[in-house]
Amino acid sequence: MTRLLLAGTGLIGARHRDHILAHPDLTLAGIVDPDPARHHPGVPGFASLAEVDVEADGIVLATPTGTHAPLAVEAAARGLHVLVEKPVADTLENAEVMARAADDHGVRILVGHHRRHHPRVQRLAEIVASGTIGRPLAASLMWLMRKPDDYFDVAWRAGIDGAPIKQNLIHDVDTLRMLFGEVTDVTGLAQATRDAARPDTGGCVLRFDAGVIVTVAWSDATPTPWGFEAGTGESPHIPHTKQDSLRIAGTHGAVEFPSLTVWSGAAHWNEEPTPQVHAAEDGIPLVRQLEHFADVVAGRADAVVDARSAARTLAVILEIERTWSA
Ligand SMILES: NC(=O)c1ccc[n+]([C@@H]2O[C@H](COP(=O)([O-])OP(=O)(O)OC[C@H]3O[C@@H](n4cnc5c(N)ncnc54)[C@H](O)[C@@H]3O)[C@@H](O)[C@H]2O)c1
């Protein structure tokens, strides 16, 4: 049994809470949230980490981004392993402070890029690595959803931290890093179409060190069926459209995601490519990520995404943010 604390039970923290409570191998040792209404019946509740007086092995931090570094450092000093939501921190400097705190106190800090635990993402990575489509050359990704206006009523979401760059594209960038390695170049454009002090719509081009160039169209102001959560049905809050939102083109074929449709058999444009749909097992990525956290706590696994890896994703995100000038 792995005993976990949970700090923050807002939008994503409530999902972590429910998954921990439902899991036979996990115990919710306590909830830390300054808002007592966010505590849970039967679970010890605390207003701050300093007040926690129950035993635990690790803590899930699902608090506003600016609190990730101070809370992770405090937790590490208490000997707690940490699973912190993305982005790892608000700045690269704070991400490094967190990584050093983990080193100093002999604990692990994992970052919640949970898509790496999605069975379809893992199957996609296998297809790309297998050479089925040859060497990947280019890809096209869409994340085009409309968030309700009241999503932005929370103070920390009003500015740049609430833009889809740090909230949503960060997952896509991490997934692309999983597939294609490190990003070497970032260029793009962004604009604000809502009356707000943050960009909501844009496009960018990323080059990866493996030689892949990816175009990304992103917006949280348009209600389309194209985006990771809609395509995969990963979020209980977003209807499942099953539409593809990522297409990867290689020297011998192509693959679409999340349908996992592989196109192959054509040597050039005069020949007809044939599609083959690949299967993937079922599994809830947030649950699989918690199980991975328990494995890391027990010393059975290394972190799939640690603070320094997540900092490389954050560095790309900060570059994309620079494509916007208010
Ligand atoms: N992995 C994902 O898909 C995903 C989705 C949404 C949000 N997030 C990330 O999770 C974090 C939280 O986002 P959210 O949308 O759930 O926020 P939210 O505003 O809905 O909830 C934040 C919660 O943290 C609590 N809180 C604030 N300060 C605290 C502190 N010092 N200690 C303990 N609790 C504190 C608040 O009372 C609130 O309950 C952000 O970093 C965000 O980027 C990740």
Q: Residue 191 forms beta bridges with which residues? A: 201
Q: Does the CB atom of residue 45 touch ligand 1 within 6 A? A: no
Q: Does the CB atom of residue 70 touch ligand 1 within 6 A? A: no
Q: Does the CB atom of residue 12 touch ligand 1 within 6 A? A: yes
Report the residue among 60, 63, 74, 198 best suited for mutation to probe ligand 1: largest number of ligand atoms under 8 A from its CB: 63
Please tell me the predicted confidence (pLDDT) of residue 166: 93
3-state helix, strand, coil in the chain (%, to 5): 35, 25, 40
Please tell me the predicted confidence (pLDDT) of residue 178: 98
Q: What is the DSSP letter of 69?
A: H
Q: Does the CB atom of residue 67 touch ligand 1 within 6 A? A: yes
Distance 62 CA to ligand 1 centre (A): 4
Q: Does the CB atom of residue 190 touch ligand 1 within 6 A? A: no
Distance 132 CA to ligand 1 centre (A): 40
Report the residue among 33, 65, 229 best suited for mutation to probe ligand 1: largest number of ligand atoms under 8 A from its CB: 33
Report the residue among 6, 19, 52, 85 best suited for mutation to probe ligand 1: largest number of ligand atoms under 8 A from its CB: 85
Q: Does the CB atom of residue 114 touch ligand 1 within 6 A? A: yes
Q: How far is CA 215 from CA 167, 202, 208, 283, in A?
A: 18, 11, 11, 29
Helix (H) or strand (E) holding 229: helix 228-232
Separation CA 199–CA 37 (nearest Å): 32
Q: Does the CB atom of residue 80 touch ligand 1 within 6 A? A: no
Please tell me the predicted confidence (pLDDT) of residue 144: 98
Q: Does the CB atom of residue 119 touch ligand 1 within 6 A? A: no
Please tell me the predicted confidence (pLDDT) of residue 136: 98
Domains along the sequence of the chain with CATH: 2-113+286-305 (3.40.50.720), 116-282+314-325 (3.30.360.10)
Q: Whose CA is nearest to atom 14 of ligand 1?
A: 11
Alpha helices in 65-106 (DSSP H): 68-77, 92-105
Structure-token pair, residue 160: 């740049």
Instruction: Specify the long-range contacts of residues 260-265, CB closer than 8 Å, at least 24 apart.
Output: 260/120, 260/123, 260/124, 260/127, 262/127, 262/132, 262/133, 263/133, 264/132, 264/133
Amino acid letter, 150 = D
Question: pTM of the full predicted structure?
Answer: 0.95
Q: What's the average pLDDT block by block, 10 residues per block, for the chain (326 residues)?
A: 97 97 98 98 98 98 96 98 96 98 98 98 98 97 96 89 94 98 97 91 97 98 97 94 98 98 96 97 95 97 97 98 84
Separation CA 171–CA 87 (nearest Å): 9
Segments of the chain assigned E as strands? 2-7, 26-32, 45-46, 58-61, 81-84, 109-111, 136-144, 183-191, 201-208, 213-219, 246-250, 254-257, 261-264, 274-277
Distance 12 CA to ligand 1 centre (A): 6
Q: Does the CB atom of residue 175 touch ligand 1 within 6 A? A: no
Separation CA 43–CA 30 (nearest Å): 6
Q: Are 35 and 127 in contact (CB under 8 A)?
A: no
Report the residue among 9, 11, 166, 229 best suited for mutation to probe ligand 1: largest number of ligand atoms under 8 A from its CB: 11
Q: Residue 152 forms beta bridges with which residues? A: none
Distance 9 CA to ligand 1 centre (A): 7
225-252 confidence digits (pLDDT tens): 999 999 999 998 999 999 999 999 999 9
Q: Are 307 and 172 in contact (CB under 8 A)?
A: no
Please tell me the predicted confidence (pLDDT) of residue 23: 98
Separation CA 313–CA 31 (nearest Å): 29
4 contacts: CB under 8 Å, gap ≥ 6: 20, 26, 27, 28, 29, 56, 57, 58, 59, 60, 290, 293
Distance 153 CA to ligand 1 centre (A): 14
Please tell me the predicted confidence (pLDDT) of residue 326: 52
103 contacts: CB under 8 Å, gap ≥ 6: none
